[in-house]
Amino acid sequence: MSGTRRRFFQDAAIFGAGLFGLRSQLGAQQTSSARAPARHAGNATSPNSPAAASPPMLTPDIPDLAYEIDGAVKVFRLTAEPVQRKIAPFKTIDAWGYNGTCPGPTIQIQQGDRVRVIFENKLPESTSIHWHGLEVPIEQDGIPYISQKPVAPGEKYVYEFTVHQEGTFFYHAHSAMQEMIGQIGFFVAHPKTPHRPQVDHDFGIILQEWAVLPANTVPNTAAMEFNWLTFNGVCGPAITPMLARLGSRVRLRIVNLGMDHHPIHLHGNQFVVTGTEGGRAPESTWCPMNTVLVGVAQARVIEFDAKYPGAWMLHCHLPHHMMNSMMDLLRDRQIETADQTDPKALSQMQTLANTLGVEHVHHAPIAQDASAVKGFPQDAFMEMGMDAAVAKPETYGLPANWSAGMMGMMTLVRVLSDRDYDEIMAKKRAEKPTT
């Protein structure tokens, strides 16, 4: 492709960012080194004032599980069943989950609540539920043959216990392959006495790995190498960004159930680890960091002050976890990476764009003699811009072609001014169907 034509696509991308995106970028450039107020004015508290109630945790791309009240008991209905999960605009997998979603819906309760979970098995094989990290009576622990009989297909089982702990826990099938095909969900117990410093935004992310062959939809749960990596059951760039007001305090709860440990890195900010799957960590253990290793079967809770405006990336820093499978873009035809040319790459990306119904954007420039350099290409032909295919209120105002380099375990924490935050929240409210 000629330099003039390549420049045309670059210029078009810049002008296509829109006024909102341009305003946000300029604002970030002007204030990136300036410290924002430590607290948002609407949430400021003095050291001696009582802490406000904990905000509910938001799990992007995953719903909460509703409950009913039976006397003094919160009653949840949880169903294990096969589900289809669209993990990328061009990839849907057949997984197992709960209540129509994978991961399963988020359960949120208050410390001290009595909880009853009416569990139904709609899978073709027996299963059970384990409450990871919760101190429950042995008969509620969900271990087949040890604490209960397996729940057979079509049967129900009632779990009931009082939650005396607070913290970030999760539920999952206690069968190895069922875990790997998607059976996990958050169980969050908010504290009776809110923690200090109080947070204004609370988000949850579940890390999962999938091995799915090209032109296939069923994960290979016995595999040890993975080509699809997800946050809350979705790959970048389809993962919904998290929104925070400038000057607020943000909590991120990260749970990992897979075969790999994940170093989760936050750009542009320092955080402290305030909790694990065992509960709140003593403040004496907090120290500034920007990457936390979330091991298998662990939870890590991090908090930071959103002092700097911008769209800050949050991602696993294992290089292969920052990618989507390159073998699925043309379904049963593998995209080549070791013997590639600019025209072939453009043709393949145009095929993807046509499939998704989005405008094709040229990849970042390469040298004229790039093919003569040993090792080329590496990342040159991996960009997969698809802004329109993943557009939602939370992506409003991002620069044009923002999605091109977002893959695998990659999402954004957007720290926004009051005006921009309120504008996006208004768009979200306008999208909700009226009942």
Give the pLDDT confidence score for residue 54 in this predicted structure. Answer: 82
Q: How distant, in Å, are the alpha carbons of 186, 280, 411 from that of 274?
A: 18, 6, 21
Cβ atoms < 10 Å from Cβ of 103: 31
| Ramachandran bin of 68, using left for φ above 0, alpha for ψ from -120 to 50, beta for the remaining angles | beta
The more confidently predicted of residues 125 and 350 is: 125
Is a pLDDT exceeding 80 seen at residue 26? no
Is a pLDDT exceeding 70 seen at residue 348? yes
d(CA 194, CA 53): 6
Which range has the worst mean pLDDT, 28-37, 209-218, 293-302? 28-37
214, 196 in Cβ contact below 8 A? no
DSSP state for residue 156 in the 8-state scheme: E
The more confidently predicted of residues 34 and 270 is: 270
d(CA 262, CA 291): 10
Rg over alpha carbons for the chain, rounded to the nearest Å, is: 23
Which range has the worst mean pLDDT, 5-19, 293-307, 348-362? 5-19
pLDDT category at 50 given cuts 50, 70, 90 is: low
Q: How distant, in Å, are the alpha carbons of 220, 284, 374, 409 from that of 288?
A: 39, 12, 40, 23
Give the pLDDT confidence score for residue 64 in this predicted structure. Answer: 98
Q: At CA 168, angle to CA 244 and CA 162, rounded to 5?
A: 130
Closest to 306 measured CA to CA, from 38, 44, 57, 24: 38
| pLDDT, tens only, 83-137 | 999 999 989 999 999 999 999 999 999 999 999 999 999 999 999 999 999 999 9
Give the pLDDT confidence score for residue 111 in this predicted structure. Answer: 97
Tokens of 58: 């938001």
Reported pTM: 0.86
Give the pLDDT confidence score for residue 51 in this predicted structure. Answer: 61
Is a pLDDT exceeding 60 seen at residue 20? no
Q: What is the mean pLDDT of residues 305-321?
A: 95
307, 414 in Cβ contact below 8 A? no
3-state secondary structure of 31: helix
426, 396 in Cβ contact below 8 A? no
Tokens of 395: 């992506």
Q: What is the mean pLDDT of residues 276-300?
A: 97
Bridge partners of residue 374, in order along the sequence: none
Q: How distant, in Å, are the alpha carbons of 48, 124, 198, 377, 403 from that of 331?
A: 60, 29, 48, 22, 21
218, 93 in Cβ contact below 8 A? yes
Cβ atoms < 10 Å from Cβ of 145: 8
pLDDT category at 36 given cuts 50, 70, 90 is: very low
d(CA 249, CA 195): 12
Instruction: Give pairs for 20-25: CB < 8 Å, separation 24+.
Output: 20/396, 20/397, 20/420, 20/423, 21/397, 21/398, 21/399, 21/400, 23/397, 24/309, 24/310, 24/311, 24/397, 24/416, 24/420, 25/399
Q: What order do you get walking across the sheet with 107-110 strand by strand?
A: 107-110, 184-190, 167-172, 130-132
- % pLDDT > 90, the chain: 67
Tokens of 193: 């006495």
Q: CA 387, 388, 394, 399 torsion: positive or negative? A: positive
Is a pLDDT exceeding 60 seen at residue 35? no
| End-to-end C-alpha distance for the chain, whole angstroms | 52
H or E segment to which residue 352 belongs: helix 342-356
d(CA 142, CA 126): 12
Please provide the size of the chain in residues: 435
361, 403 in Cβ contact below 8 A? no
